[in-house]
Each structure stands twice: as structure tokens, then as C-alpha cells.
């Protein structure tokens, strides 16, 4: 896997260095053996990436966070793909999936994931989500208890579950309090602001990603930059409220019956204590903090994240 990742990284870097190659939102490259496709789910065309096929292996469906894309899971997926058949969704308004609609509400993105599983005819996949995606799979686990084999949540809000927290933009790691605050990608702004973000030169977005996220692999920065170029919504306050409504997890954590795991970013002792107390409601799960990691813990501390995930997954 190391050789494969290095070969892929060299191709990515070469494509970024050759000035004759025009980088646009449709030209994203992905690892050798990976494919992509579309599924019609919940009234929209949903785009997804499929890692190296692993017939007979457990299916895993990954749901990314705000302003990210399915390929934001790439480095983690490369570590897991030999043991799992992995699908990475672009959620609505992200990547190459259709934009939000006027009828969206706080249940819409939950139903998107459920319909994707049904469309693909998966039998009890493992669901993994980050940030907004973590809240999404948490609610799927609570509202559709027989759908998944296990639920894995990377840095969801848990200490104040009854609230609809302001989501943190993926790509703005926030754990160490001593770090200087960074400029986050725009999520809920005017159409002009969001389109201007799409039009920012790719090289500029990559450079900002490297400055803001020094612990990340170059592959993660590359896909982070592409995700900001592709982000396309929501454009109205109503659509923004519908997307934020996905994060209103209320008592969902307590209703998950299948094995579940929460990985949280590093935090001060009092915050860790609050997180651990909130996780006590889990019927069949546990919460683990990743030392030294920010909100994007699978990028900040990939090796530790993989270690903890493998320990959980092998216990299923």
C-alpha cells in the first residue's frame, strides 16, 4: 500500500507542476483501481467513488463533512481497502452530486444515505462519517436500526446533542487551542461568495491548505482543494437551514443498537470529560479521543486513527 500511495502521490504532484494541465472541478484524479459512478437517491443524482473492489469483503460506506468530497477519505481508505469494499459518497451540494432542492429539510441527507444503501443493494454495510457526515450516520443508526452493521463517527458534536451546532468547515483543524485561527471555507454565504470560492485558483487553494494543515498528507490537501472548487450550495437561507438540521442529533446517540465508535479530536480535560459523559448513553459503543488531532483527525493523525479503527473493526 505504501508503494501504491507514493506512486499515486507522484502522479498528483506531477499534474500540479505541469503548467499545460488545466485543473478544473471535473478533472480530479483518483488512485489506481478506483472508479466512480452515480446512484438515483431521494430525488437526486448522487455521485460516489468506489475504492479498489474487494468482493466478499464487508461493505463500508463513508459520508464526508461540510464542504468536503468523497475523495477526502482517500488516505484513510487506502489503509483500509484491502479488508473492506469501500464506497465514498459526495453528499448533496458537494462534489459531483446534485445541489440542494427547495424541499430539503433536516431529514433529507439522512434519507440520501439510506436510499444509497438500498439503491446499491448493500446488506448491512458499515457506515462511517466525519463531522456533518458523522451526525448523518448517527441519525441513520438511530432511525434505521437494522440498516447498518456498525456506525463509526469521526468528531461529531456529542456534549450538546440536543442543539444544532454551527458546523465546522472541513479543512480547518481546530484541536490545539494555541494555534492561530485559520480562515475557514465558506459554507453558508451569498451565491456570489460561494462562486468566488469556486473560482479561486487551484494552486492558491492548495497553498492555503498546506499552510493551514501542516500535519496533512499532500494527497489530503490536494482533495481538500478540489472539494472547495466543487462545493455548490446551499445558496438560500432555507437550504442552509435544511443542511444544518442534519446536525440536530438530539437523542440519536442513545438509540443506536449496533456496535458504534466515536473518535473525538484532542481537547481540554473538561471538554473530554463532557464528551465521555455524553457517550455514556451509547448502548453498544465507546468514545476515544485522538491525542494531538484536530477536527479532521483522520488527516491530522492518520496512523493513530487507523490503529483505533482496526481495533474496533476486527471486534465486529
What's the pLDDT tens digit per position in 52-87? Answer: 999 999 999 999 999 999 999 999 999 999 999 999
Omega before residue 234 within 30° of 0, cis: yes
Q: Which long-range contacts (CB under 8 A, 24 or more apart) does 185-191 make?
A: 185/67, 185/228, 185/231, 187/66, 187/67, 187/231, 187/240, 188/234, 188/237, 188/240, 188/243, 188/244, 191/235
Q: What is the pLDDT of residue 146?
A: 97
User: What class is the 30-313 domain?
Assistant: alpha beta
Q: What is the pLDDT of residue 198?
A: 80
Q: What is the pLDDT of residue 182?
A: 46
Question: What is the rounded radius of gyration, in angstroms, for the C-alpha atoms of the chain?
Answer: 18
What's the pLDDT tens digit per position in 10-61? Answer: 545 434 433 333 445 457 888 999 999 999 999 999 999 999 999 999 999 9
Of residues 252 and 21, more confidently modeled: 252
Which pTM does this prediction carry?
0.86
Average the pLDDT over each of 4-18, 67-81, 104-118, 302-316 and give the range with the smallest value. 4-18
What's the pLDDT tens digit per position in 194-208? Answer: 787 788 898 999 999
Q: What is the pLDDT of residue 99?
A: 93
C-alpha cell at 154: 469521526
Q: What is the pLDDT of residue 240?
A: 76
Read off φ and ψ for residue 229, nearest 5 degrees. -70, -30
Of residues 193 and 135, more confidently modeled: 135
Q: What is the pLDDT of residue 200?
A: 87
Give the percent of the chain with pLDDT over 70. 82
Where exactly are the structural domains of the chain?
30-313
Q: What is the pLDDT of residue 277?
A: 95
DSSP sequence for 165-206: PPPPPTT-----TTSPP-PPPPSS--HHHHHHHHTS-HHHHH
Average the pLDDT over each of 102-106, 193-197, 269-273 and give the range with the smallest value. 193-197
Amino acid at each position: 500500500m505504501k508503494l501504491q500511495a507514493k506512486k499515486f502521490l507522484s502522479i498528483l504532484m506531477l499534474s500540479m507542476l505541469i503548467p499545460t494541465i488545466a485543473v478544473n472541478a471535473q478533472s480530479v484524479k483518483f488512485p489506481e483501481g478506483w472508479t466512480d459512478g452515480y446512484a438515483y437517491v431521494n430525488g437526486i443524482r448522487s455521485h460516489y467513488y468506489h475504492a479498489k473492489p474487494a468482493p466478499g469483503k464487508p461493505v463500508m460506506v463513508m459520508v464526508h463533512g461540510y464542504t468536503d468530497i468523497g475523495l477526502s477519505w482517500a488516505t484513510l481508505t487506502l489503509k483500509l481497502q484491502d479488508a473492506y469494499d469501500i464506497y465514498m459518497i459526495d453528499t448533496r451540494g458537494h462534489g459531483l452530486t446534485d445541489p440542494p432542492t427547495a424541499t430539503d429539510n433536516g431529514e433529507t441527507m439522512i434519507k440520501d444515505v439510506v436510499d444509497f444503501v438500498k439503491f446499491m443493494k448493500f446488506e448491512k454495510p458499515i457506515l462511517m462519517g466525519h463531522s456533518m457526515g458523522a451526525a448523518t450516520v448517527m441519525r441513520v443508526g438511530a432511525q434505521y436500526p437494522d440498516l447498518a452493521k456498525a456506525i463509526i463517527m469521526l468528531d461529531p458534536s456529542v456534549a450538546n446533542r440536543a442543539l444544532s451546532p454551527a458546523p465546522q468547515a472541513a479543512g480547518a483543524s481546530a484541536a490545539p487551542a494555541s494555534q492561530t485561527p485559520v480562515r475557514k471555507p465558506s459554507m453558508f454565504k451569498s451565491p456570489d461568495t460561494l462562486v468566488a470560492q469556486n473560482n479561486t485558483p487551484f494552486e492558491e487553494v492548495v497553498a492555503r491548505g498546506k499552510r493551514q494543515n501542516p500535519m496533512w498528507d499532500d494527497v489530503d490537501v490536494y482533495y481538500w482543494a478540489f472539494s472547495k472548487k466543487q462545493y455548490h450550495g446551499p445558496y438560500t437561507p432555507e437550504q442552509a437551514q435544511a443542511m444544518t438540521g442534519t446536525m440536530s442529533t438530539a437523542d440519536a446517540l442513545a438509540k443506536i443498537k449496533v456496535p458504534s465508535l466515536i473518535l473525538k479530536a484532542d481537547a481540554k480535560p473538561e471538554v473530554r470529560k463532557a464528551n465521555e459523559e455524553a457517550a455514556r448513553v451509547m448502548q453498544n459503543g465507546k468514545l476515544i479521543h485522538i491525542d494531538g488531532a484536530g477536527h479532521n483527525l483522520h488527516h491530522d493523525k492518520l496512523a493513530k486513527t487507523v490503529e483505533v479503527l482496526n481495533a474496533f473493526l476486527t471486534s465486529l
